[in-house]
Amino acid sequence: MPGAEAGSTTRYAYKASLIGSAHRFELTEQGLSWHMAGRSGLWRYDEISAIRLSFRPVSMQQHRFRADISRTGGGRIAILSTSWQTAALMAPQDNGFRDFLIELHARMAKAGSRAELTAGLGRKTYAAVLAFLAVLAVAMAGLLIRALVTGELAGVLFILGFAALFAWQVGGFVRRNRPQSYSFDRVPKALLP
């Protein structure tokens, strides 16, 4: 079903957990149709008030993206780019997720939507993350200097290795989730698989 198209309907589905049914979404002529946890609804494209795209890795899937869609008058839907397969496996659905979101943006633009389109973390959260990373960098630099002064080569190598691994893991998250606004015709590629 991911990314399947039938006439003028684009579909996407994912399993948010092992227990329960799949969350299903369709882009129809009338709007965004959704079915989740025994509930369903149809949001017209001009009723969608906001979309926030973000990069949200988890331990079972390091390459996971999320779209939070809000409606005027209340309600929010989260759409993920991965689906649970087994207790130990989350499968990426990169093409279906990307195609669905690109088509959603195109249909909203065609309907004359005035939705707020944002990407990444909120500005306050992002500032807190940067402050935490700055404090951590100062602490790591202090440990590195101490290891160099005392001649602990194993400690120096450990700190350098840890810093490189941390920068690789966290650096991508911070870079992709930089707060920004975007337009319907310029969806940020860094936040789509």
Same domain for 110 and 28?
yes
Same domain for 103 and 161?
no
Same domain for 22 and 105?
yes
Same domain for 144 and 158?
yes
Q: Has residue 3 got a pLDDT over 70? A: no
Cα(49)–Cα(127) distance, rounded to whole angstroms?
25
pLDDT in the model for residue 88: 64
What tokens appear for 16 in the block? 């948010």
Same domain for 96 and 161?
no
First CA to last CA distance, the chain:
18
We report the CATH number of the domain holding residue 46 as 2.30.29.30
- pLDDT, tens digit, 9 for 90 and up, residues 22-47: 899 999 999 999 998 888 999 999 99
Full residue range of the structural domain in which residue 52 is found: 5-120+180-191
**Do residues 183 and 108 lie in contact, with contact meaning Cβ atoms separated by under 8 Å?**
no
**Sign (positive or negative) of CA dihedral 178, 184, 185, 187:** positive
* 94 vs 78, more confident: 78
pLDDT in the model for residue 19: 76
- pLDDT, tens digit, 9 for 90 and up, residues 147-176: 999 999 999 999 999 999 888 888 888 988
147-159 exposure pattern, b = at least 16 Cβ within 10 A, e = fewer: beeeeeeeebeeb
* 103 vs 57, more confident: 103
Same domain for 31 and 94?
yes
pLDDT in the model for residue 60: 61
Same domain for 115 and 128?
no
Same domain for 101 and 47?
yes
Please tell me the pTM assigned to this model. Answer: 0.80
Same domain for 133 and 82?
no
Same domain for 99 and 187?
yes
Of the candidates 27, 29, 81, the one whose C-alpha atom is nearest the C-alpha of residue 58 is 81
